[in-house]
Amino acid sequence: MGLLTIIRKNRQKEREMRILFLGLDNAGKTTILKKLNGEDIMSISPTLGFNIKTFAHGNYILNIWDVGGQRTLRPYWRNYFEQTDALVWVVDSSDRMRMGDCKQELHSLLTEDRLAGASLLVFANKQDLQGSMTDAEIQQVLDLPAITTHHWKIWPCSAVTGKNLVEGLDWVVATPPGSRAEDPQRRGTGISVIPEYGKLTQMHHHHRSPITSCNTKRRPRTITMSPLNCLRTLFAPCEYDASDTPALFLALKTFRLTTPTPLIPA
């Protein structure tokens, strides 16, 4: 067997999954992610934007997006739905007062078309705390049995002790996503034509969002960018950073320094 054949087989064995970690603030999303990645969990601050971790799990490469859960950030969750294979909903099992909010936000997410076909893992976190709700109680409070649009499972876990975290990921990778990946409505290719920049006349994108747009004052053209598929061009710095509102303004400021015409937000 030749070397190239071995390399090809290894690449085929390693498949990628895009996993989205969501939940209310203080649920323990970032702590779980750091624990899974073998990082220190002693000093963790609230996530004000998002964290991205990529690591191997079995024969899969997992690209995990951990997005802040504060109420002011929840309207921006929809910017991270595209191409999601699995949704991990993290619940603070000790926070009985907000279980109603937790249920409402979860069921609202499951109506999103771009999450259709994604499997749902509910992590009932903080089981190490005395007085925490059991996974059976949380299952009833969140009305999980009523979910018929997604394949779901609930796991009691602890981000501190690591209990059931790996087992939860095992379930995710063993549960193939639905027909979302084959749906052409969710796998388009966008093209932007920019005559002003000579050879850089076309930018092809295999992901349609998150998308940042800006227009030139002289000749309006929309420039679309995706941090999931960054181009190795002078636009790349903007693409890497344009993933949330604060980063967008910084990216546009940097972008102006490298473009021949003034730019304004679209």
Walk me through the domains of the chain, giving residue ranges and CATH numbers. Answer: 3-182 (3.40.50.300), 188-265 (no CATH)
| CB neighbour list of residue 108: distance below 8 Å, 6 or more residues apart | none
Per the annotation, where are the binding residues for GTP? 23-30, 69, 125-128
Among 72-76, 177-181, 217-221, the minimum mean pLDDT is found in 217-221
66's torsion region: left (phi>0), alpha (psi -120 to 50) or beta? Answer: beta
151 φ, ψ (degrees, to nearest 5): -80, 120
| pLDDT at position 122 over 70 | yes
**Element (H or E) spanning 125, and its range?**
strand 119-125
Decide which of 79 and 187 is more confident: 79
CB 36 within 8 A of CB 55: yes
| pLDDT at position 85 over 60 | yes
Arithmetic mean of pLDDT over the chain: 74
pLDDT tier for residue 43 given thresholds of 50, 70 and 90:
confident
- The proportion of the chain whose per-residue pLDDT surpasses 90, expressed as a percent, equals 54
- Between CA 109 and CA 84 the distance in angstroms is 12
> Any idea which residue has 């004000």 for tokens?
48
Over residues 69-75, the mean pLDDT reads 94
- The yes-or-no answer on residue 70 being catalytic is yes
pTM: 0.65
The tokens of 219 are what?
């000749």
The tokens of 157 are what?
């876990």
- The proportion of the chain whose per-residue pLDDT surpasses 70, expressed as a percent, equals 61
- Between CA 191 and CA 226 the distance in angstroms is 12
Q: How far is CA 177 from the centre of its chain?
A: 15
